[in-house]
Amino acid sequence: MSAAAAASPPEPLSMKAVLGIPTMRRLWYAQIVSVFGDFVALFAVINVMTFELHATAQQITGVQIAYVAPIAVLGVLSGVFVDRWPLKMTMVGSDLTRAALCLLLLFVHSVWGFYAVLASISVFSSFFSPAQGVAIRSVVPRHGLRSANALLQQVMLLMRIIGPTVAGLIVHLLGEKVCYIADSLSFVASGLVMASLLLNRPTEVGDALEGGAETRGLARIWADMKQGIGFIVHHPALLFVVTALAAGMFVMGCFGPLVAVYVRDTLERSTQTFALASGSIGFGLLAGISTLNAAARNVSEKVLVYCGLTGIGLGTLLLSLVPHVAVLFIGCILIGVAAGAIIVPAQTLVQRETPAPLMGRVGSSMMSAIFGAQVGGLILSGILAEHTSVRRVFLFCTILVAVLIIGGKLFMEPKETPLAPPTAQEAA
């Protein structure tokens, strides 16, 4: 074998090949079970609030805010502990604690009670998600990370599509309390799977973290937080994809709640049109993540992120300029596919470029930016819609994406980072 051939980047692994890794396969199974449980429980909560408590539209939106806001706030902090705590125990502890908290839903009969329990569950989710990212990095070769992330995102989107239907049947036949118990059991099942995994951090993690031994307590936590954020800020490629992903989620946050108003007021259509439009976004996301992972395996993360931003901008521009039902579906699918072109490449680049000692902090900082942008979009969409039209809000989203594309080219242009050849351990 020639030296050039030996130094060439390895061929990206397919999803099937990644699922051939036993630990990754178990992580995937656990994701299926726990995400399904989450969707069933959330559907039941919204059903109770809507038809029993007669909650307003703003109170229903508050469910989503309560579920993601703690992650946005605590994300940066939780990564500090994820980088120091035992990885397996962090994931198992998070799962079992969330299983117990889900059972509290059995005793809730008020809007604020639901907010409190969902926010508490979200607090422990803020520890699980970055830990899961570290686990994936530890068991999947670098050239398989994109497929690994695509697999986990596919689970999320499939549950988004089929979850409400299944949850509706469970609520109708068995009642909401069964949904809460099912969610609790799903976390127990996930925790048992996590407990069976063999997860080992690289040996250099502990050595690197001991470098700050001269500080203690809050000063050390603050120093660790700054180290994770500083790594993103001073790494152009990561700064670009994290900013792009946050902007994409901000647009999705603005877009989601206003689709119903757009259908009702601008298109003068019914609930059925709104349901089909919402499904089109989920279908587009699933199609984007699935097809791009296969068809664009050798396309760089940078190019995919630019394509994704462009697609989101075109989708919102179409909706702002052409108020037609057919264009609504085209725009929703386009936005979904484009978001899929950003989500997986961004996660992959973060895992690939971040040193192992910083994986928890960098991953949680990205998570905080994503959920913070989503909450901001949910809140700002309502404020903007009160002072202007929905179509102008969509046009604002288009302008925001265009500014980010230009800013990325001028100030955050990431350098190409070729995949390193696999190590002897990975090749084995």
- Does residue 396 share a domain with residue 273? yes
Residue with tokens 């039209």: 389
Neighbours of 73 (CB within 10 A): 18
- Under DSSP, the state recorded for 388 is S
- Does residue 250 share a domain with residue 101? no
367 three-state secondary structure: helix
Kindly state whether residue 2 falls inside one of the protein's structural domains.
no
- Does residue 192 share a domain with residue 45? yes
Q: Structure pTM?
A: 0.75
- Does residue 327 share a domain with residue 200? no
Neighbours of 333 (CB within 10 A): 21
Q: Which helix (H) or strand (E) holds 247?
A: helix 236-261
Q: How far apart are CA 54 and CA 48, in angstroms?
A: 8
Plot region of 217 (φ>0 → left; ψ -120 to 50 → alpha; else → beta): left
In this model, does residue 21 exceed pLDDT 70?
Answer: yes
Q: How far apart are CA 309 and CA 294, in angstroms?
A: 20
Plot region of 175 (φ>0 → left; ψ -120 to 50 → alpha; else → beta): left
- Does residue 281 share a domain with residue 403? yes
Answer for the pair 263, 281: CB distance below 8 angstroms, yes or no.
no
Answer for the pair 312, 251: CB distance below 8 angstroms, yes or no.
yes
The rounded percent of the chain whose pLDDT value lies above 70 is 86
- Under DSSP, the state recorded for 10 is P
Q: Give the per-residue pLDDT at 256.
A: 67
pLDDT per residue over 268-306, tens digit each? 887 678 767 877 887 888 888 877 766 767 777 788 888
Q: Give the per-residue pLDDT at 204.
A: 46
Residue with tokens 């999705």: 252
- Does residue 62 share a domain with residue 183? yes
Q: How confident is the model at residue 211 (pLDDT cuts 50, 70, 90)?
A: very low
- Does residue 309 share a domain with residue 370? yes
Q: How far apart are CA 121 and CA 123, in angstroms?
A: 5
- Does residue 195 share a domain with residue 234? no
What are the tokens at 210? 């001991």
- Does residue 110 share a domain with residue 63? yes
What domain range is 46 assigned to? 12-205
Q: How far apart are CA 375 and CA 276, in angstroms?
A: 24
- Does residue 33 share a domain with residue 148? yes
Lowest-pLDDT range of 36-50, 268-282, 394-408: 268-282
Q: How many domains does the chain have?
A: 2
CATH of the domain at 119: 1.20.1250.20
Residue 274 vs residue 97, higher pLDDT: 97
- Those residues whose C-beta lies under 8 Å from the C-beta of residue 61, and which sit 6 or more positions away, are 257, 378, 382
- Does residue 391 share a domain with residue 286? yes
Q: How far apart are CA 340 and CA 281, in angstroms?
A: 10
- Does residue 408 share a domain with residue 265? yes
Neighbours of 338 (CB within 10 A): 27
